[in-house]
Structure 1
Amino acid sequence: MGKTRKEISLLILQELYKEKENLKKQFLETKNSIGYFYIDDILPKKLALEIHANFPATEETVKRKSLKEFKFTAFQMDRYDALLEEVIYAFQDEKIIQFIAEICDLEKIYGDEFLYAGGLSLMKKDNFLNPHLDNSHDKDRNRWRVLNLLYYVTPDWAFENGGNLEIWPNGLDNKPITIQSKFNRLVVMTTHQKSWHSVSKVEKNATRCCVSNYYFSNEPLLVSDKFHVTTFRGRSSEKVKDIILQVDNKLRSGLRKVFKKGIRKNPHQYKK
């Protein structure tokens, strides 16, 4: 039998404790814009390789292709190897949530059993994710989305392969900070009204695999935060696309003012 979420969470917690002061330092240095920290080798290499080996093929996932993004997602976890569900929910262990809350100086945050917009993400050659703001709330619009956890598991994933996380603390007219989607690396970043982020186009004929979780709070991170749908923009080189995406953002935002919980339920959630 493979490792349970409890066993995996203890391994994660052990590494987080080892790097506690460094993680606090990373976050403190960035918290006034888009706060983030990352930690390498968060799980034993053998286990990280096993997680990667059990990722589904893209044919078994949901393809998302538009002007905004091109990627594959998986969130109905009972369709896949049990280890994948265990590792996702290991990151939602209460002790890990409390530890990360302390690092980020947050009073009380919560995991998400429904994996709303979370789960697994796979990106192949030419896949991308345009600059965007995450939806501000959970699926029922009761809590604010405050943290994004990204755990990368593709072995030997080099920077030049693309598919790297980009964050834009100085706005979309300036260069982003690029964080490599390095094997066995966990990245934690804040999500709020100004936390623009993206994923660079995958340049290699391979698949970049990521385990994704979100944490929520009863209060927004910024006093200025207001409800917003997932909001996409074009890059500085994509003038026409940017105009189209801004129109799309306004239309979807207008609909949500009328239909508070949307016209239909977002299918990206784990239906147990």
Structure 2
Amino acid sequence: MEATTDIMKHINPKYTSAEAIAELRKQFDNGHPCRHLVLDDFFDSEAADTMFANFPSLESLNVKRKSLNENKSEDYHFERWNPVFGEVRDTVQSDEFAKFMSQITGIEGLKTTPDSLGSGVHQGGQGSYVDVHIDVNYNPETNLWRRINLLVYLNKEWKEEYGGHLELWDKEMKVCEQRVAPSHNRAVIFYTDENSPHGYSKINIPEGESRKSFYTYFYTEVGEGFRYSDSRFISRPDDSAARKAATSVKEAIKINAKRFLKALGVKSLDFQDKNKY
């Protein structure tokens, strides 16, 4: 076993040995259409439990995303929360953790950023959902290529009937390849590209419950193979015809508006929305 450095103390050491990293690398690159890993007990238990116990209230999160295709809240102001959130952020934004992520994904030169497109928290109350979508693959503020998502769920005693499973779909939106329950201290690491449509269906939870997660996005320098891909929602096969039409029209309007604003020299709407507070 390799020694765990102090900066990596909040990562479960069962994942950081040379042997474990080699096995994770094999699991990540296993031919699945959306390359991904599901890792239970990802943070050390004390950190995960403290984050759960001190997760910021839904009402306190500054960005409310509510539209035809999503209903959730998010934030990245770590200075307002329990210090453990800042400690974990410092861990996942460290050079040591970036090297770990490069080793298990095979993507050299991964790094993250100190803005809202780096690390933060998501939370959804009763009825929360995020329709299946492709993430934007570019951070316009830093000129970096978004490559990997890390989500760590912080939901103790989450029940199957609550729903809210992360769905990973095939590119053609014909098959849901994987459903991952958002259980406590479960991490999902997945490639962010055209082969990774993902989202979660509407949750049904009791009063006082919410769907909580910690996120970090990883980037590389823009290089060979990069082709800009905007964020966009994609209809599920079982969506009604009316919902499919509404989503298609909404996304077309959004993308055309972004192109118009880009021609005027205005930054991405997604980036502005995430940094308006």
Q: TM-score range by the shorter chain?
A: 0.7 to 0.9
Structure 1: how far apart are the matches of 2:83 and 2:55?
10
Q: Which residue of 2 aligns with 1:12?
A: 11
Segments of structure 2 that go 5 or more residues without pairing to the other structure are: none
Cα distance, 1:17 vs structure 2:
1.8
Aligned partners of 2:146 and 2:192 also within 8 Å: yes
Cα distance, 1:145 vs structure 2:
0.7
1:8-43 C-alpha deviation (Å, 9 max, x unpaired)? 633316232243233222211145x21111211122
The SS at the match of 1:236 is: coil
Q: Which residue of 1 aligns with 2:205?
A: 204
Cα distance, 1:201 vs structure 2:
2.0
Is 1:266 aligned with 2:268? no
Structure 2: how far apart are the matches of 1:240 and 1:141?
38
Structure 1: how far apart are the matches of 2:269 and 2:68?
22
Alignment of 1:69-218 (within 5 A): 69-116=70-117, 118-140=119-141, 142-205=143-206, 206-218=209-221
Q: Which residue of 2 aligns with 1:58?
A: 58
Aligned partners of 1:120 and 1:212 also within 8 Å: yes
Cα distance, 1:234 vs structure 2:
2.3
Structure 2: how far apart are the matches of 1:100 and 1:234?
31
Distance 1:79 1:199, change over 3 A: same
Aligned partners of 1:23 and 1:38 also within 8 Å: no
Cα distance, 1:270 vs structure 2:
9.3
Aligned partners of 2:29 and 2:35 also within 8 Å: yes
1:177-218 C-alpha deviation (Å, 9 max, x unpaired)? 101212111110000123100112212222121000100112
Distance 1:72 1:145, change over 3 A: same
Segments of structure 1 that go 5 or more residues without pairing to the other structure are: 1-5
The SS at the match of 1:259 is: helix
Aligned partners of 2:171 and 2:195 also within 8 Å: no
Structure 2: how far apart are the matches of 1:77 and 1:10?
19
Structure 2: how far apart are the matches of 1:92 and 1:57?
24
Cα distance, 1:63 vs structure 2:
2.2
Structure 2: how far apart are the matches of 1:8 and 1:156?
29
Q: Which residue of 1 aligns with 2:227?
A: 226
Structure 2: how far apart are the matches of 1:53 and 1:68?
29
Amino acid at match of 2:255: S
Cα distance, 1:93 vs structure 2:
1.4
Structure 2: how far apart are the matches of 1:266 and 1:25?
38
1:147-195 C-alpha deviation (Å, 9 max, x unpaired)? 0000111112233321111101253222341012121111100001231
Cα distance, 1:118 vs structure 2:
4.3
Aligned partners of 2:168 and 2:176 also within 8 Å: no
Structure 1: how far apart are the matches of 2:190 and 2:233?
18
Amino acid at match of 1:218: E
Structure 2: how far apart are the matches of 1:26 and 1:171?
23
Structure 2: how far apart are the matches of 1:125 and 1:17?
36
Cα distance, 1:65 vs structure 2:
1.2
Range moving further from structure 2, 90-99 or 231-240: 231-240
- Please give the TM-score of this superposition, normalised by the length of structure 1: 0.87
Structure 2: how far apart are the matches of 1:26 and 1:192?
18
Identity among equivalent positions (%) equals 23
Amino acid at match of 2:214: V
Amino acid at match of 1:59: E
Structure 2: how far apart are the matches of 1:46 and 1:265?
33
* Count of residues paired in the alignment: 263
1:104-157 C-alpha deviation (Å, 9 max, x unpaired)? 111211111112274101122211110001111114261111000001111122
Range moving further from structure 2, 202-211 or 260-269: 260-269
